[in-house]
Amino acid sequence: MSQSIETTCVQGGYQPENGQPRQVPVYQSTTWKYDTSEHMAKLFDLAEAGYFYTRLANPTNDAVAAKITQLEGGSAGMLTSSGQAANFFALFNIAGAGDHIVASSAIYGGTYNLIKVTMARMGVSATFVDPHCTREQLDAAFQENTKCVFGETIANPALDVLDIELFAEAAHAHGVPLIVDNTFATPVNCRPIEWGADIVTHSTTKYMDGHASTVGGAVIDAGKFDWNAHRDKFPGLTEPDESYHGVVYTERFGLAGAFITKATAQLMRDLGSIQSPQHASFLNSSLESLHVRMAQHCKNGQAVAEFLEQHPKIRFVRYCGLPSDPNHALAEKYLPNGSCGVVSFGFEGGREAAEKFMSALSIAAIATHVADSRSCVLHPANTTHRQMSDAELEACGITPDLVRLSCGIEGTDDLLADLAQALETV
């Protein structure tokens, strides 16, 4: 089973049998019909596998989740309605009131807010660590009640690369799993499970969908973390679940299935957040070209970063593919075939130059999005971080002149020519 990532992108997950549709069918049905209520009762008790209500499971979603699970090298996976839901489910499946999370400080703003504000209101506390901290600094962040460690392979928007092995070793030394959000790298460029991560999450809204059409998320479990070895920390997985007639997830579903079954049976049941089967079908079609698109995103990202780095009107460039970038060594280790298409840079002419440059672009559109097949550009100081003063912006590493360009899959020369003409107006 050493199938290439390319073939898995195209053919993973759904395996039609003789006479069945070649394309994953869209099961556009909320519910399933059964002959007896005894049969239905067995499904409700998780005593038998089967579909009965789309909030809990749908064959289209399962086929697409299986493809992403194969791409990441995991044992089980689920789709969610958004990346936010995926990260919340991954964290809340093991960390509840009174528990604690260790997280990298360089993460997506929505996830930072989820952990820092919303989960805090649910009684889950957190300690944020610098993604480039030492092992000693990382160890110091753990508490008795720590239940997991969280980070992003390539942070959005800071573009820091996570030292996955270091974070995994620290997590395991403290008896907890490492959760990695692999949205920006995608399994085409990095498979965190191969470096020790236990659970991988995605906002499939980004490169996996790649066409700015559908919001979605995914949670993938490696099936390797031994919950039973730390029973006291993870009673939700290792002790009877009263809401399911006393099922013990690790006993009934093994290490390979316990985490995702619990997330489906409890969190999806109680909180909803299922992806629509129609969206799962769009996502599946997009995944078929993920490997082809990522190569062009990375080619464009690298060419744009190199072009901007030597341009006299550019003050700085952040892209881990540049040898001058502080994340370059980590990128060589974890992302040898490329990172992503997102490049951050700043202007000698400051905020005003950034604004002029952006309005002069013709290929890259101004949009609050990244990882789209069409190039797009965002000025955080004027949009997502608009409420902050220049001093506050500097403090969180977003200078007023910073522009984030998400290189699409257009022709490289066209993108460079567009940047060059826009820079002339500055």
Ligand X SMILES: *Cc1c(COP(=O)(O)O)cnc(C)c1O
Query: Contact positions toward ligand X, by CB under 6 A?
Result: 82-84, 87, 108, 110-111, 152, 156, 181, 183-184, 203, 205-206, 215, 217
Query: What is the number of the residue whose Cβ is closest to ligand X?
Result: 83
205 or 238: CB nearest ligand X? 205
- Whole-number minimum distance, CB 92 to ligand X, in Å? 15
Pairing of strands 146-152, 125-129: unpaired
132 or 311: CB nearest ligand X? 132
User: What number of H helices and E strands is found in the chain?
Assistant: 18, 12
Long-range contacts, 24-28 (Cβ 8 Å, 24+): 24/60, 24/63, 24/64, 24/281, 24/284, 25/59, 25/60, 26/60, 26/277, 26/278, 26/280, 26/281, 27/51, 27/54, 27/58, 27/59, 27/60, 27/277, 28/277, 28/278
Distance (Å, rounded) from C-alpha 235 to C-alpha 248? Answer: 9
Is the bond preceding residue 157 a cis peptide, omega within 30 degrees?
Answer: yes
User: Looking at residue 116, what DSSP letter applies?
Assistant: I
Q: Are 363 and 418 in contact (CB under 8 A)?
A: yes
- Whole-number minimum distance, CB 180 to ligand X, in Å? 10
Rg for the chain, CA atoms, rounded: 22
258 or 403: CB nearest ligand X? 403
111 or 261: CB nearest ligand X? 111
- Whole-number minimum distance, CB 155 to ligand X, in Å? 7
Q: What tokens were used for 104? A: 């990298």
- Whole-number minimum distance, CB 183 to ligand X, in Å? 4
75 or 204: CB nearest ligand X? 204
216 or 236: CB nearest ligand X? 216
80 or 261: CB nearest ligand X? 80
3-state secondary structure of 276: coil
307 or 319: CB nearest ligand X? 319
- Whole-number minimum distance, CB 305 to ligand X, in Å? 19
- H or E stretch at 254: helix 249-262
- Whole-number minimum distance, CB 31 to ligand X, in Å? 27
- Whole-number minimum distance, CB 179 to ligand X, in Å? 12
- Whole-number minimum distance, CB 153 to ligand X, in Å? 9
DSSP class per residue in 63-111: HHHHHHHHHHT-SEEEEESSHHHHHHHHHHTT--TT-EEEEESSS-HHH
User: Looking at residue 214, what DSSP letter applies?
Assistant: -
Distance (Å, rounded) from C-alpha 53 to C-alpha 34? Answer: 12
178: number of Cβ within 10 Å:
29
82 or 281: CB nearest ligand X? 82
- Whole-number minimum distance, CB 228 to ligand X, in Å? 30
Q: Are 67 and 283 in contact (CB under 8 A)?
A: no
Helix axes 350-360, 412-424, angle to 10 degrees: 130
Q: Are 34 and 52 in contact (CB under 8 A)?
A: yes
205 or 276: CB nearest ligand X? 205
- Whole-number minimum distance, CB 22 to ligand X, in Å? 29
3-state secondary structure of 188: helix
187 or 236: CB nearest ligand X? 187
- Whole-number minimum distance, CB 215 to ligand X, in Å? 5
